[in-house]
Chains A and B, each alone.
Chain A
Amino acid sequence: MSQPLLEVQQVFKNFGGFAALSGVNIYVNPGERLGLIGPNGSGKTTMINCISGLLTPEKGKIIFEGNDITQMTPHHRARAGIMRTFQIPKPFNSMTVVENLCIPLEYAAEHKTSLSVAEEEARKILTLIGIEALGDLKPTGLTQVDMRKMELARSLAGRPKLLILDEVMAGLSGSEVDEILEILFKLNEQGITIIMIEHVMRAVLGFSKRISVLNTGLNIAEGTPDEILNNPEVEKVYLGE
């Protein structure tokens, strides 16, 4: 089997006396679609903060493309090809949507061209996501679903090899979820590896090839969506005994 794109090995992270992650292992293969689920407080967000570099684990290793990135700064990880979205989109409000996209284009993707070429590139990405009409607006006026799409577009502008989605579906309607899913399948076909953290079960079960389940900072199950649905351990965590 080929080497995984990302490998999280025995990662521990504490906040004071609270153990958020107690030896978590996760891997994702190139081109794969991995779902990461678990009840609130299970350590999913802490996990992706460790992967994107916002947090440094106390113990354990994070390997990306065969390199140990555990101590690497967030901006170097972004340049290496790890991009993420946030549960609550965090656009730069003083800039238009296109201008927001130019920042990762210039820095994460190291696009190094003139501003006008970058803006053109940004518009292509907006077209891919289907929000080309919003390019010249400020993010403050956008609807929830458009804001999510913009957040997605901005991550794409960093030319990721690995895209981590932190609850992009939260608060969206059924048809909006389908819309985003369609975009994500398209991106995956283009070769982008995706990790999806999601509470909307329909989305994560329909999208993922493989799902990893966390609870109280530990791996409790892993398998195909069908296997996860029929796993008594997972059922216990979500529904109680």
Chain B
Amino acid sequence: MVSIDLLLNAVVAGILIGGFYAAVSLGISVVFGLLDIANIAHPLFVITGSYFTFYLNSNFGLDPILVGLILMPLFFVIGNIVYQSYYHFFEKQGAEPLRGLVFFFGVLFLIEVSIIITFGVDYQLVEAAYLGESLNLGIVNVSYRLFIPFLVGVLLTTGLHFFFAKTFYGRAIMGVSQDSLALSLMGADPVRIKSVAFGIGIATASMAGALLVMILPIEPALGREYIGRVFAVAVLGGLGSVKGALFAAIILGIAESLTATYFGAAWSSGVSFGFLLLVLAVRPAGLFGR
């Protein structure tokens, strides 16, 4: 007999963790989904955000969410610089995407090693008064440690969704993803537009990093565990669809949570990828594909 309590709690935990997965995957949705750049280093940018958050939280007692927010402009600039170098050395030369992938592999290891040298390999965690508390809703128990990242993840996704739909820059980014030559004939500089889009993608990583370190203790190699998951979310949601990424992330979160509850945590990533394959077989463009 399946216990309703257990089932409900697993589903709610899955939804909550899904909101967080969305925040981690947004950058991939934008950069890989819209700009066709396979930035496999993205999770490492997220981890960098986590370490910055950890550092500012443990030394100055700053709230993790606040740190994530303050760091967004800095991460935006970093994203700009990374894209400009990628453009200069690869895209402009007409290099094959595979060589770009090698570039981002390099970036990935560079970041990981820098983190190890700076912070060491020990697990780190942040503190905030509300993190230990939880909200009791009858049989369902909602911990703030998961609920706040969920809320912020949903807000971030919604904000980005409206940015793409309702601003000139957002529309130009959608345009560059469909036809960058046509866009340049409309008077917009595709390199600048892509640079802004890449910057936005990386800026989401600072917030995602802050959320990550609120949920779990972090260590430098943790980023690698997310590489598969973020691409899965971006592909499942439909490349380039921010809204799709949120839905996909929640579906994946629920699938993982149910598997972990009933079959053991070891199975959870297997189930999420199995699920991904199943969806792609039926709907290759993803849930909200362009």
Contact = CB atoms under 8 A, between A and B. Distances in A.
- Chain B CB within 10 A, most for which of A84, A90, A110, A158: A90
Nearest to A154: B186
Interface in B131-179: 166-168, 171-172, 174-175, 178-179
Contacts of B182: 86, 90, 92
Nearest to A74: B184
- Chain B CB within 10 A, most for which of A52, A54, A103: A103
A73 B167 contact: no
B113 interface: no
A28 to B, nearest CB: 19
A79 B184 CA distance: 10
B186 A108 contact: yes
B271 interface: no
A143 B202 CA distance: 40
B184 A103 contact: no
Interface string B214-258: 000000000000000000000000000000000000000000000
Contacts of B166: 115
A107 B181 contact: no
B260 interface: no
Kindly state the interface size class of chain A when it binds its partner: 20 to 34
Contacts, number: 72
Contacts of B167: 115
Interface stretch (B52-60, B87-95, B187-195): B187-195
Contact of B181 (A54, A99, A103, A158): A54
B174 A95 contact: yes
Contacts of B171: 92, 95, 99, 102-103
Contacts of A103: 168, 171-172, 175, 183, 186, 188
A104 B174 contact: no
Nearest to B241: A94
Contacts of B190: 75
- Chain A CB within 10 A, most for which of B168, B172, B175, B187: B187
Given A90-B179, A94-B178, A158 B186 contact: yes
A53 B183 CA distance: 13
A84 B168 CA distance: 21
B286 to A, nearest CB: 14
A106 B174 contact: no
A11 interface: no
A92 B168 contact: no
Contacts of A94: 174, 178, 290
A74 B181 contact: yes
Interface string A142-179: 00000000000010001000000000000000000000
Contact of B184 (A78, A93, A102, A109): A78
A58 to B, nearest CB: 18
B290 A109 contact: no
Interface in B16-67: none
A137 to B, nearest CB: 16
B178 A107 contact: no
Contacts of A126: none
A107 B172 contact: yes
Contacts of A52: 185
B118 to A, nearest CB: 40
B179 A92 contact: yes
Given A93-B178, A94-B174, A94-B290, A115 B184 contact: no
Interface string A122-154: 000000000000000000000000000000001
Nearest to A80: B187
Contacts of A54: 181, 185
A95 B182 CA distance: 14
Given A75-B190, A92-B179, A94-B290, A84 B185 contact: yes
Interface string A87-98: 000101111000
Contact of A78 (B168, B175, B185): B185
Nearest to B187: A108
Nearest to B183: A103
B170 to A, nearest CB: 10
5 contacts: A90-B179, A103-B172, A107-B187, A107-B188, A108-B187
The 10 closest A-B pairs by CB, nearest first: A108-B187, A78-B187, A107-B187, A107-B188, A74-B184, A104-B186, A106-B168, A75-B184, A90-B182, A103-B186
